Amino acid sequence: MIAVYRALFRQAFQIMSAYRIALYLYAIFSFIRPIIFLAAWVAVAESQGGRLGAFSTHDLAGYYVITIIVTHLSAAWDFFEFEYEVRQGRLSPKLLRPVHPIHYSITGNIMWKLWTSIAVVPVAVLIAITFDARFTTTPAHLAIGSVSLVLGASLAFVFGWIFASAAFWTTRVHSVVTLYQRAAFIFAGQVAPLSLLPGPLLAIAYALPFGYMLGVPADILRGGPDIPTALLLVGGQIVWLAIGIVLYRIVWSAGLRQYSAVGA
């Protein structure tokens, strides 16, 4: 498996080198939205004397600066590509290979993030300076937060594939994905840090998987929750990741039975 991954990473690297400029363009989407909502929350906080509950404007900046990085590192876009592969019958040759198609996607995903983070990190630093971001991160937060970040990215990736698998049944994956993304918009920690969501929305957010992809790792990395709470949230991530993997396996095998390429 290690040899396979080495080959796949080399391949992913070569694909990326071919389209260098276009690669960076999509990184813009990682930072525009966090900046928009940071500006909005700072405007709200300033109308309330610079503080909202536990958040000062500097804490809000800290949260959204980390969110830029986490958004970037937990990006998953397989639903768009997979639908195309199914529709065009391009999935068929991949199925014949001894390596599951998901491994191509994993290496491509990681390679893109490694490659484009160079462009995203300076933006995050710039925003941190502009808004005078404050971080209360302890070494323990950093350690737990890093684990949480990997779990969050994995969770986003697995759910991305579950929704991508909808392509086995429908050619309208786009509509399904819009619903998924708008739920994430509200509940993942994009429009607000999770703890600023009003009452019932907060409860829903912690019950759904979206917050564990973005808001949870971002809040831990900025040093928001205390250590026991952080560990509890990581537990929640593990539970959702386990559910996600099981769901993915069920959906994938059911989908494969359903799959018939054009002309097959």
Partner 1 sequence: MTHYLRLLRLFVTTELQFALEYRVNFALEILQMLVVAGTSVAAVLILFSYTTVMNGWTLGQMVVLLGVYYMVQGAEELVMQPSFQRFMEHVREGTLDFVLLKPVSSQFMVSFRHFETVQSLQVVLGLVITVVGVAGLASAITLASAVAFAVTLACGFVLIYALLLVLSTLAFWFVRVDNLLAIFWAFIDAGRFPVDIYPGWLRITMSTVIPVGIAVTVPAKAIAGLVDVPSVAGIVVAALIAFTVSRLFWKRGLRAYTGASA
Residues near partner 1 (CB under 8 A): 21-22, 25-26, 28-29, 32-33, 35-37, 39-48, 52, 130-131, 172, 175, 178-179, 182, 185-186, 191-192, 196-198, 201
Tell me phi and psi for residue 192, to 5 degrees. Answer: -160, 150
Nearest distance, CB of residue 56 and partner 1, angstroms: 14
Q: What is the CA radius of gyration of the chain?
A: 19
Nearest distance, CB of residue 93 and partner 1, angstroms: 27
Nearest distance, CB of residue 122 and partner 1, angstroms: 13
Nearest distance, CB of residue 63 and partner 1, angstroms: 15
| For partner 1, the closer CB: 22 or 96 | 22
In this structure, what DSSP letter does residue 225 have? S
* Cα–Cα nearest to 134, from 43, 224, 32: 224
| For partner 1, the closer CB: 37 or 79 | 37
Tokens 């392509």 sit on residue: 167
| For partner 1, the closer CB: 30 or 237 | 30
Go through the chain and tell me how many residues it has: 264
Structure tokens that stand for 210 in this block: 């979206």
| For partner 1, the closer CB: 43 or 143 | 43
Residue 149 carries which side chain, given as an amino acid letter? L
Q: Are 161 and 105 in contact (CB under 8 A)?
A: yes
Structure tokens that stand for 75 in this block: 């990006």
Nearest distance, CB of residue 197 and partner 1, angstroms: 7
Nearest distance, CB of residue 238 and partner 1, angstroms: 28
In the chain, which ranges are continuous DSSP H helix? 2-18, 20-25, 28-47, 57-73, 78-88, 91-96, 101-130, 139-164, 173-187, 199-207, 210-213, 215-221, 227-258
| For partner 1, the closer CB: 40 or 250 | 40
Say how far apart CA 24 and CA 46 lie, in whole Å: 34
| For partner 1, the closer CB: 55 or 159 | 55
Say how far apart CA 114 and CA 226 lie, in whole Å: 30
| For partner 1, the closer CB: 1 or 48 | 48
Nearest distance, CB of residue 26 and partner 1, angstroms: 7
Q: Are 165 and 82 in contact (CB under 8 A)?
A: yes
